[in-house]
Chain A
Amino acid sequence: MWGIVRQNVGGASGLSSQVMRLRPVASAMRNYSSATKEMTVRDALNSALDEEMAADPNVFVMGEEVGEYQGAYKITKGLLDKYGPERVVDTPITEAGFAGIGVGSAYHGLRPVIEFMTFNFSMQAIDHVINSAAKSNYMSAGQINVPIVFRGPNGPAAGVGAQHSQCYGAWYGSVPGLKVLVPYSSEDARGLLKAAIRDPDPVVFLENELLYGESFPVSAEVLDSSFCLPIGKAKIEREGKDITITAFSKMVGYALKAAEILEKDGINAEVINLRSIRPLDRATINASVRKTNRLVTVEEGFPQHGIGAEICASVVEDSFGYLDAPVERVAGADVPTPYAANLERMAFPQIEDIVRAAKRACYRAVPMAATA
């Protein structure tokens, strides 16, 4: 179970979508079959919540405007009518209070899904996420587990200004005892939210407002009510051999577009959709870098102490000899988010930033000499 391990990063299988099944089905793993249906991320989240609430009476939803308003972003639409006000609970604007109430109810065995209208407001309640939820199983030596999900939009939207645009992936991702998930597609949204709700530990589920309206193809198995994705496994969205690009949430879409542009320049990029910040799928990332020898990390959050910094450190620790170029980080600008559209555009990664960083990683054959 545990032991002192010198070298443990083997080649990960690098399989594309690993699907965890809850009812036995004939074939084991496969890519998603030819898409017959499209689904928005919003509907994916809504249907996941609906199915999990139907399956387990202990699951309930709590947050601001989740009930009568049908959800600030309509993610919880229809749930109040279906499940009633005892299970879809509208709260006052008191995050510290209702996050604490949610955690307390989880101590007593309920399975709350607490919505933060955006994760910026989670800072009001962050003590409960970390000290009351994340650490309890450890401090109680396993007596008190906390099967809670904190979900809501994370990161920038469009023009919402500095106080409403921060990405909390790095902060929550650093806390042992938490699981931090970052869906991109509708398949991710359904599978990861269902997994999060079923998980016995506290999960921070970071969505993205601008992705809610985006449609993605979904296969029959994704639509099945038993569909679940494994926690802690990244997905290779696009296979490639020249460079690895890691991304999560909205940046996966940007990375895929950057990969198309890079293809025209003869650079074949592998795009990894992290899906999970904690646990971080170091095995998949390292296996990919050992194959491609170059890495660009992409995130919308602040650059210092960010997700890319952790991925870079992991690759340097486990796959140093395989790197043919320094790791490139593309991240949000190191400034509070400005409002003006042109400045806001400069504050977050654009497709051309990813392309440029990838090209840099590809043309730099020897390490750059230290600048004077």
Chain B
Amino acid sequence: MALARRSSTLLKPLSAASSSSSFLHRRPFSTDDTTTITVETSVPFTGHNCEPPSRSIDTTPKELMSFFTDMALMRRMEIAADSLYKSKLIRGFCHLYDGQEAVCIGMEAAITKKDCIITAYRDHCIFLGRGGKLLESFAELMGRQGGCSRGKGGSMHFYKKEACFFGGHGIVGAQVPLGCGLAFAQKYRKEDHVTFAMYGDGAANQGQLFEALNMAALWDLPAILVCENNHYGMGTAEWRAAKSPAYYKRGDYVPGLKVDGMDAFAVKQACKFAKEHALKNGPIILEMDTYRYHGHSMSDPGSTYRTRDEISGVRQERDPIERLRKLILAHDLATEKELKDIEKLARKEVDEAISQAKESPMPDESELFTNVYRKGYGVESFGADRKELRATLP
């Protein structure tokens, strides 16, 4: 079927069943990566202590279509997670990324899987962008064996080490020094790769961020700090939390770039620019002006500290997927129906992944005691009633 030919790395048929759907006659846009299409970013970049890159970006039909397809899948995944949480299949924390998809999609387009990414707890889509599977994501959210952390991590602790995705962190701001540490290792090993350490406008005020940035600048580490500014740190608007909410300038001696985070091509251009900069000159800050439609987490309705008009306004004016849709239609790369079909397929893939994930069993009870150490030396560990439950750590 046509979708198996699609360039998107995210949508792969999960089982034989899905590949027998009707073949859609397609124009050959989906694999066309030779025609150049030039797009302009919605707004120009604003630089701090650096010359911003051009707002004209070259792309191909293949890339345009893959952006749309991948973002549609991510959007679907997050909306489905919302329902799963409300039906109590997902417990604890669940921080959704819908609205912010352009940031991780644009970033992936500019980098390789040997460049590292580390982020906070709003990590499901970033995991997908790094090559994570829908099944692994839903199974982890539901605490099952098929999850990317075998059910032991949960929503905030997705990892994919072989794709240089280092999580998934629950402590606000901690991931920034960790990300600078990844960059330290890359430089130590003389690799030609960079690290993107992602954080929010809330975390942007953390002291440890400035400690790490200072060292990254002193030692010229290839660290790119990406502030996903969705304008609210939980329920606190940026102007109430930061004396200076110009996060791209907060690095002072470290250059920065302000980017329209709802524009996947602007993000791609900024990340490409940042990677080149970081490899030569050390750290740089990218501020992605983005927006989350959901509240901070599933326990936050998201409407007590912002108006519904604001939310629907962003959805109408700046939605990243709609922006792609308009571009694709304007360049006549697909019809409206074809795009709707892609979204329908995304929904189908997500539904299939969820039902597969539901089949995945809960972890075996012995997993309570696994992975405490990499090397346990046969040490004893204990359950709640230590005379009843003990284990030897291998």
Give chain A's interface residues, CB within 8 Å of chain B: 1-6, 8, 60, 86, 89, 91-92, 94, 96-110, 127-128, 131-132, 136-145, 147, 176-177, 179, 199-201, 230-232, 279, 282, 317
Contact = CB atoms under 8 A, between A and B. Distances in A.
B372 A232 contact: no
A96 B178 contact: no
B357 to A, nearest CB: 16
A107 B181 contact: yes
Nearest to A101: B181
Contacts of A89: 219
B171 A143 contact: no
B88 interface: no
Q: For this complex, into which size category does the number of interface residues on chain B fall?
A: 35 or more
A97 B215 contact: yes
Given A94-B214, A128-B177, A104 B184 contact: yes
A279 B212 contact: no
A142 B147 CA distance: 13
Given A60-B188, A128-B174, A137-B372, A103 B181 contact: yes
A317 B387 contact: yes
Contacts of B214: 92, 94, 97
Contact of B170 (A108, A131, A176, A199): A131
B372 A138 contact: yes
B116 interface: yes
Interface string B204-229: 00011011101100110000000000
Contacts of A108: 116, 166, 181-182, 185-186
19 contacts: A92-B215, A97-B212, A101-B177, A103-B177, A105-B185, A106-B181, A107-B178, A110-B185, A127-B174, A132-B171, A137-B372, A137-B374, A138-B371, A141-B150, A142-B371, A176-B372, A199-B375, A200-B375, A230-B377
Interface in B148-181: 149-153, 157, 159-161, 166-171, 174, 176-181
Given A127-B171, A279-B379, A145 B166 contact: no
Contacts of A100: 174, 176-178, 180-181, 208, 211-212
Interface of B: 116, 118, 149-153, 157, 159-161, 166-171, 174, 176-186, 188-189, 207-208, 210-212, 214-215, 218-219, 366, 369-375, 377, 379-381, 386-392, 394
A108 B152 CA distance: 21
A300 to B, nearest CB: 25
Contacts of B189: 110
Nearest to B161: A143
Given A4-B389, A110-B188, A140-B167, A201 B374 contact: yes
A2 B392 contact: yes
Contacts of A317: 386-387
Nearest to B197: A104
Contacts of B160: 143
A275 B356 CA distance: 49
A107 B166 contact: yes
B254 to A, nearest CB: 14
Contacts of A230: 377
Contacts of A104: 118, 166, 177-185
B141 to A, nearest CB: 14
A139 B152 contact: yes
Contacts of A128: 174, 177-178
A139 B118 contact: no
Contacts of A2: 366, 369, 390-392
Which interface residue of A8, A105, A279 has the most chain B CB atoms within 10 A? Answer: A105
A103 B178 contact: yes
A140 B153 contact: yes
B166 to A, nearest CB: 5
A230 B170 CA distance: 34
Given A6-B387, A98-B211, A201-B373, A176 B153 contact: no
Given A100-B211, A103-B181, 4 more contacts: A94-B215, A96-B208, A127-B174, A201-B374
Contacts of B369: 2
Contacts of A105: 181-182, 184-185, 188
Which of B149, B171, B184 is packed against the most chain A CB atoms within 10 Å? Answer: B184
Contacts of A101: 177-178, 180-181, 184, 212, 215
Given A100-B176, A107-B166, A140-B159, A177 B372 contact: yes
Nearest to B184: A105
